[in-house]
Amino acid sequence: MQLDQLLADRTDLWRGHAAPPAAPTGLPTGFRALDAALAGQGWPAAGLSEVLSAHAGAGLALLMPLLAAFSHGHQCRGGYPGQPRWLLWVGPPYIPFAPALAARGLDLRRMLLVHAGADAAWAAEQGLRSGTCAAVLAWTGPGAGWMDHHAHGQRWARAGGIAGERRANGWTPAALRRLQLAAAERSTPVLLVRPLAAAGETSPAALRLKVSACAEGLDVTLLKQRGGRSGQRLRLPAQPDADSGGEPRPGVGVVSAGPGIKVQAVGDGLPPAPLARRSRRRRSAPRR
């Protein structure tokens, strides 16, 4: 029984005969179809996720419901409701347009824009290790950083190669690995927006998906996910589903579990006592 318990506590262990975990361990994406396809029914809460995208708009649109939920103090893994933490944006390719972000529910005061150039991977890791960031977003493309655009004659870079990613911004495979480890250790999600060319590379990310804009909205392909199937292709609506993201409302995005359902810890390596306390708190959170 104890062995069973131990095995059940680990989500990095996939047991073929077992049913998929009943309790959602991920952070809701805001898109019902995507939640259903993901192993944790959402973004990995403690790990590296990669969004490969040729379209800067589609990449950010996919992340918006999650960021909006973070802005409102929900999904506070390792933190507490009401404790404001940063949303670290490392090397955004263009200017994140404040009026649009505010209208979509982002608390702009929590945004921390970092133009790190060659130190981008370092900056992302610092954000993770500080424990003061709710989530870390990083754009790894060679043109990442709109301040650099100024320097390069405002070039409109639509897609980038993997070589530039490595050379220019320090996103080596080793850096990605460090980031994945740090994310797991600090129970903080890291969302990496990479160019499409990175699809051919191996990556330590817990989740990789490809997104592009299409006429109906977003076209998402799951390239890899830990503990779940991959290869599905999803058409997501242009707007997040009304009841699970987008315009935030109370209760949205709380990682909640019903009574009697064990909330699983996602490999954050904490001793059991705080975990028990945390899961109790989560149970008392309002259910939607």
Residue from 32, 74, 77, 85 in contact with other proteins (CB under 8 A): 85
Radius of gyration of the chain (CA): 18
Among 33, 113, 234, 261, binds other proteins (CB under 8 A): 113
The contacts of residue 147 (CB under 8 Å, 6+ apart) are 115
If binding is defined by CB under 8 A, does position 163 make contact with other proteins? no
**What's the closest the beta carbon of residue 200 comes to other proteins, in angstroms?**
21
CB of 276 to other proteins, least distance (A): 12
Q: Which helix (H) or strand (E) holds 113?
A: strand 111-114
At 171, phi and psi to the nearest 5? -90, 70
List 18, 36, 98, 163, residue binding other proteins (CB under 8 A): 98
Euclidean distance between CA atoms 225 and 26, whole angstroms: 12
d(CA 50, CA 118): 19
**Number of residues near other proteins (by CB under 8 A):** 72
Let me know if 185 is exposed, middle or buried by CB neighbors in 10 A (0-12, 13-18, 19+). middle
For residue 30, give the amino acid letter: G
| Cβ-based nearer residue to other proteins, 67 or 206 | 67
Q: Give yes or no for residue 213 binding other proteins (CB under 8 A).
A: yes
Told to check if 82 binds other proteins by CB under 8 A, we report yes
Q: Which two tokens stand for residue 250?
A: 């109370």
- What 8-state DSSP symbol labels residue 245? S
Least distance in Å: CB of 56 to other proteins? 5
With CB under 8 A as the contact rule, the residue among 10, 109, 287, 288 that binds other proteins is 109
d(CA 236, CA 121): 30
Regarding 161 and contact with other proteins (CB under 8 A), the answer is no
Is position 139 an interface residue for other proteins (rule: CB under 8 A)?
Answer: no
H/E stretch holding 163: helix 162-169
Q: Which of 7, 18, 103, 276 binds other proteins (CB under 8 A)?
A: 103
Asked if residue 127 binds other proteins (CB under 8 A), the reply is: yes
Contacts with other proteins in 5-34 (CB under 8 A)? none
By CB under 8 A, name the one of 8, 9, 23, 79 that touches other proteins.
79
The residue from 214, 223, 234, 275 that contacts other proteins (CB under 8 A) is 214
Q: CB–CB of 190/46 below 8 Å?
A: no
Min CB(248)–other proteins separation in Å: 9
Q: For the segment 50-69, give every residue that binds other proteins (CB under 8 A).
A: 55-62, 64
d(CA 52, CA 210): 5
